[in-house]
Amino acid sequence: MARSSLEEMLDSLRRRDECEKPKDLPPALPARPTSRTRLPSARRSLPINFKVGGGGDGATQCSTSEMNAKEDGKRKESQLGTKRGSFGSKKMKKDQNVESPYVLEAVAEEEGRNARKEVSGSGLDRGLTGTSASPPRQSKTKELDWDDNIGYFIKKKLRVWCQLPSGQWESGTIQSTSGEEALVSLSNGNVIKVPTGELLPANPDILEGVDDLIQLSYLNEPSVLYNLRYRYSRDMIYSKAGPVLIAVNPFKVVQIYGNDFVTAYRQKLMDSPHVYAIADTAYNEMMRDEVNQSIIISGESGAGKTETAKIAMQYLTALGGGSCGIENEILQTNSILEAFGNAKTSRNDNSSRFGKLIEIHFSSLGKICGAKIQTFLLEKSRVVQLVNGERSYHVFYQLCAGASSVLKERLNLKTASEYKYLNHSDCLEIHGVDDAQKFHMLMEALDIIRISKEDQEHTFRMLAAVLWLGNISFQVIGNENHVEVLADEAVINAAGLMGCSSRELMLALSTHKIQAGKDSIAKRLTVQQAIDARDALAKFIYSSMFDWLVEQINKSLEVHKQRTGRSISILDIYGFESFKRNGFEQFCINYANERLQQHFNRHLFKLEQEDYELDGVDWTKVEFDDNQECLDLFEKKPLSLLTLLDEESNFPKATDLTFASKLKQHLNSNSCFKGERGRAFSVCHYAGEVLYDTNGFLEKNRDPLHSDYIQLLSSCSCQPLKLFSSKMLDQSQKSAKSFCQINALDPPKQSVGAKFKSQLFKLMLQLEKTTPHFIRCIKPNSKQLPGIYEEDLVLQQLRCCGVLEVVRISRSGYPTRLTHQEFAGRFGILLSETNVSQDPLSISVAVLKQFNVLPEMYQVGYTKLYLRTGQIGVLENRRKQVLQGILGVQKCFRGHQARRLFHEHKEGVTTLQSFVRGENARRKYNVMIKWCTASAPETLDELQAAVHLQSVIRGWLVRRHVNGMRNLRKVHPENAKSKRKPSRIISEVKVIPQEQVQVLPSALGELQMRVIKAEATLQQKEEENTALREQLQQFETRWSEYEVKMKSMEEMWQKQMASLQMSLVAARKSLAADNAIVPPRKIDASSPQYYDSEDNMSMGSRTPGGSTPLKLSSTIHGVGAGHDTNGTLDAVSNLVKEFEQHRQTFDDEAKAIVEVKSGQSASVNSDDELRKLKFRFETWKKEYKIRLRDTKAKLHKHGHSEGRRKWWGKRSSRAS
């Protein structure tokens, strides 16, 4: 039989592989399997340009033999039950009952998978088929393997993992074995007896805390758990599992983010696992391959998906940040969406109650040019109904806590505890969260996104209207349990915020109109119907407002004409949920997670392994849990959960109980479905079994909104509410065209389940067109506290996301694959041999041989070349070096060519320039000669005319001088000796040398320059004089102001001094009258009883000035002289003298200040002297008043009550 060149080459590689295989490997590490490479099967044809040697018959016979050999190998593998990479008794029997998704399933599930595989072979998507499991393993082979492995581990004293009765894994060493049991010494010193079938190998200490699980020598659950716990305890929260990033929520701030880390990952200074690294890879692949990318973040509630998505967005905005600032707007959308779409649940304080896909668009230069947000399935029931300990959406509490007083007054807002929609869960706050501060951040984000103030006002009005709707109460009237709405503040405020009348709102909430033919009948509602109708209206307003707000954000982030088709999508969708009571929301959420898990399986398991098999690659299948059966339970027609739900929702008399009965009747044959008692049923999801309660399923799936409410909203003055009602009317009219039923409340519309399924399919179709990058978020503990690592919880999540299977495929798989044509075209330039055949396959193999790539590092398929991780990087580096060398040679050669051409051009240009410049010079010279020849006669005539004019003028001057001299000689004859001097002067004047004639033009030019300079200097001096005049005018203005001020102060001082003089005169007259009446010995004892110097002193100004009459001074002195023996009169005289002295002093100093000249620059010093003088006057005045009071008191003490009443005593009595 003829052999093709491909088969010969593969045989040589196989022989080389067997020769180089190491001999001292431990039994636990599997040897390289024998090659099962075969030609393509009959269902796949060879490529058109595929070349093989020999005839076609030989190839056909070879194909048949290879297929038979492969089937024999599969049968042997299934009989032996061996699974490469396993250890000891982990070659499990099929009937062993374990919960691990990595072991074989039960017999019934295996048969179901086989049957489903046969059926799905003819389906549209071959990648969605299941995988078959292996038959039971033989115990004899297992015992032989165990003996070898245990002996090796005892001899080397290697650590093993054993599972304790509590379920925890502990490491230890095997001391001895006895039959099916082994004695294991644990790390804490205890020795326990463990079945050998439960032992697993442990990795050496050098592999502790590796950042990629692929690097583990032994891959098993306890090794993965221990590695993640080791890294988590050291705040290394990111690990890799092949192409998947594992992110463990730290529940605290970890210092591994910020601009420094962004720069480090951007410049490839760091390569440790990180969200930044995933985002950087997606960005580089988008720019290099021009293929859209997607980052899919999954995990259960509380695992940190929302924060991870924000971190990825921060890195992408740092990479693609431009000058337009749209990257900041994209980041601010997180604050808005979290406020309106996140809430506190029992598992997470910031749980996303909706799914979102943020699609970031980039320009051809890699700069962000826009974004688009898609949302999925907002949990509307949370608006009106809460579980104890949970909260509604954050924005309600933020609005109540952080709104300004003006906004609260406009919205009639109260505290959150006064609204029934918020207070019935007994949870109004989140520990460590300031709702008021969050509201201010929300307001800033709305401004940055450019949401108008009018739209913000509408949003807050609708939020307040929803809160007030929850406070509306009903009262029963009549015997038929009918209700009417209580007309309280809740109705008034809700109607006012919505923009409708209270009467219309009350009527819509208590009655429904039913159309009967052409007539309409108003039907009163019961209490429960009215409450449900009110809640339906509140849910509709909130959900419509949420969608409307997302539309406004998308308008602000619109790409416009810069769209290039390059984008990175970040998917942040709710995680898998399983509570004590699971309703319709959990049903939809878990369905979405099943779809995402299928997408994960498809890209990491199915497509890759199918590609290996179809291309004839030597490959051992990695088993994984396929969730296709669970997806069929949800969506496969004609009988599935969603189809039966929609069918039952269309029956008016259907109930949740009839729906549960129909599910049990039609779906019991599905192994993932289990009917429970009453209204409950269970679904076996990829993450575990979940029990659902059908209570409320039909109502939530219908999501009814009566036509009366649509009409009510259309009549409101609030523009968004009108918009919501118009959209609902359009949908109702489209669905009512072919539907007419008298007793129906509303025309049928698309159910919530069907709408969500449609959105989910569109999402998956969009993701299928991108290159996915997966991030699996892990929740380390259920208490949401840092530093706690619950192994059972982590293990369950690792099993759900198939981490071990991903690592196994990544370790044994070939992530890099290129067609032979692509590989030869890219790396063919590296070949140093020229005698190699020029077909792509031969070139590819020659390149691999030339660079000594080990056979286990690659596989040659029919159409592609498969390389293990890291191999393509070596070839790329070598290609880069070669290209750099080629570029260096080309650079030197091109430089030499350019320089030679430059010199040639330079010589030619120089020669050409010499001719041109010579010609220009000759032409210019000829022009100058002609001009000089033409202008010479005119110049000579002008010069002669000037000389003649000078001679005439100078002659006249000389003659005048001579005449003067003659006249002088007539008067003084003795001066006759100077007769010939004038004639000599005349002759000297008349004879002008030729040199002076030539100097005259230059002297004239110099004089003109001097005149110009003099004019400039004169203008400068005039400007300086103008500035000095302005400054002088300012000084004169200021001095006039000072003079006015000084005159006014002098007048005020004169008035005050006059008042003091009047007081002293009055005192003198009083004393004189007393002296005239009272005997001399008693005159000194009398004094004014009610005199108050302060009253008189306060009259007028305090400025000293004016003149005191001399009559007062002499009079007082006379009185003092007549009564020298009287001490009090002496005191008065002393006061008068002191007053005169200080008056004169202050007058002199004030005049000296006034006489300052106006031209002096000491005006500021004069002002200071004036202030000092004023201060001295005030000080003396206070002292003088005190002494005047003392004198008055002395005079009063020496007086007597029988004496005659003084003028001031009379004045005081009249005043009293």
* Residues classed as catalytic: 301-302, 306, 348, 351-352, 575, 577
Q: Which residues contact 194 (CB under 8 A, 6 or more apart)?
A: 162, 163, 181, 182, 183, 184
Among 246, 371, 264, CA closest to 308: 246
Q: 């390389």: which residue's tokens?
A: 867
Q: How many residues does the chain have?
A: 1216
Quote the tokens at residue 469: 């709707």
State the residue for tokens 């004045």: 1211
Which token pair is 124?
A: 């549209």
Let me know: does 185 contact 195? Beta carbons within 8 Å: no
Distance of CA 978 to the CA centre of its chain: 110
1143 and 1060 Cβ atoms separated by less than 8 Å: no
**Pairing relation of β-strands 864-867 and 181-186?**
unpaired
Burial of 156 (0-12, 13-18, 19+ CB in 10 A): exposed
CB 1109 within 8 A of CB 1088: no
The DSSP annotation for 1103-1153 comes to ---S---HHHHHHHHHHHHHTTT-HHHHHHHHHHHHHHHHHHHHHHHHHHH
Torsions phi, psi for 465 (to 5 deg): -65, -40
What residue type is 524 in one-letter code?
Answer: R
Residue bearing tokens 């010494």? 185
Cα–Cα distance for residue pair 354/338, rounded to 1 Å: 10
User: Contact 1053/1103 with Cβ under 8 angstroms?
Assistant: yes
DSSP, residue by residue, 424-492: TTS----TT--HHHHHHHHHHHHHHTT--HHHHHHHHHHHHHHHHHHT--EEEETTTTEEEE--SHHHH
Count CB atoms within 10 A of the CB of residue 491.
21
| Dist. CA 202–CA 986, nearest whole Å | 134
Residues 6+ apart with CB under 8 A from 176: 154, 182, 183
Q: Say if CB 416 and CB 397 are below 8 A apart.
A: yes
Q: Could you write out the DSSP letters of every residue in 847-870?
A: HHHHTT--GGGEEE-SSEEEE-TT
Cα 761 from Cα 592, distance rounded (Å): 10
Query: What three-state secondary structure class fits 115?
Result: helix
Return d(Cα 1133, Cα 1118) in angstroms, integer.
Answer: 9
> How far lies 623's CA from each of 373, 671, 805, 1115, in Å?
37, 19, 7, 134
- d(Cα 147, Cα 466) in Å, to the nearest integer? 72
CB neighbours of residue 103 within 10 Å? 16
Angle at 841 between CA 839 and CA 842, to 5 degrees: 70
Give the pairing type, strands 293-298 and 771-778.
Answer: parallel
Place of tokens 């080629």: 886
Question: Maximum Cα–Cα distance for the chain, whole Å?
Answer: 171
Distance (Å, whole) CA 1199 – CA 21: 139
